Each structure stands twice: as structure tokens, then as C-alpha cells.
Amino acid sequence: MHDTTLSGWMQTLVGYVRSGQPDLTNRQMALLLLVYLTPGPHTVRGLAQSLGVSKPVVTRALNTLGALGYLRRERDEADRRNIFIAPTDMGAEFLEGFGGLIDGDAPAQLARHMRHATA
């Protein structure tokens, strides 16, 4: 077992819980990271395929992430039938704060940064 790796991940998760941010599921976090870290454009179908889940599962996660302001849906101007999933500044700030936790930033500093991101 990789005690050091697991201990670091535990500290990240504890800091995240202490930050007071909404609890994201693993699916929601994976979806958020896919949109921010992989080249787009992103569609519900493509995201579902990447995660190996159904489109309704992605839609439910997007509804939550959209309500939090972390992602948004945009209509494709070239083909109005298509909807793209796009990042937001608020989502980028959230992930920056979460990344700080992974890097070992002080939890209190992160909590302030993350609260600012959702204000």
C-alpha cells in the first residue's frame, strides 16, 4: 500500500471538506476536470463516452455543476441543435483552490480562496 500517497490524498480531502465548499461526487469532479483539462468542444455524448456512463448521468452532474456556476451550457452557433459544455471563471477558481490543496496549501487560506470563488 502507498501510505504516503493515501495520506496526501486524505489531507487533500480533509482540507476540501473543511473549506465548506459543496461536496462534489467523484463523477462530478471527474466531469469538471475533463472539461477543464482536455481540449473541447465538449458535448454530453462525448463526456458520457469518456466517463463510460450514460448521457442522463452526465446531464444530472451537469445540472449540479451548472447550478454551482462551475460549468455552463452553450448552444453551437453553427448548428443550433448542438449544446457544448464550457468552463467558467468560477469553476476555474474552484479547481485552482482544489489544486492548492493537493499542493499542500494551508486549509484556512484555501477556504478563503474557495469562498471567494463562489461569492
- In degrees rounded to 5, what are phi and psi of residue 93? -65, -40
**pTM for this predicted structure:** 0.78
> Is the preceding omega at residue 41 within 30 degrees of 0, hence cis?
yes
Least confident of 53-57, 69-73, 111-115: 111-115
Report the topology of domain 24-87.
Answer: Arc Repressor Mutant, subunit A (1.10.10)
Instruction: For residues 114 and 16, give the distance between their C-alpha atoms in angstroms, rounded to a whole number.
Output: 9
For residue 59, give every residue at least 6 positions away whose Cβ sits within 8 Å of its Cβ, in sequence order, or none.
44
Q: Give tens-digit pLDDT for 62-105.
A: 999 999 999 999 998 888 888 999 999 999 999 988 888 887 76
Q: Give tens-digit pLDDT for 10-31.
A: 888 888 888 888 889 999 999 9
CA torsion 39-116-106-64 (nearest 10°) is: -50
Domain positions in the chain are 24-87, 89-119
Q: Identify the helix (H) or strand (E) that includes residue 13.
A: helix 3-18
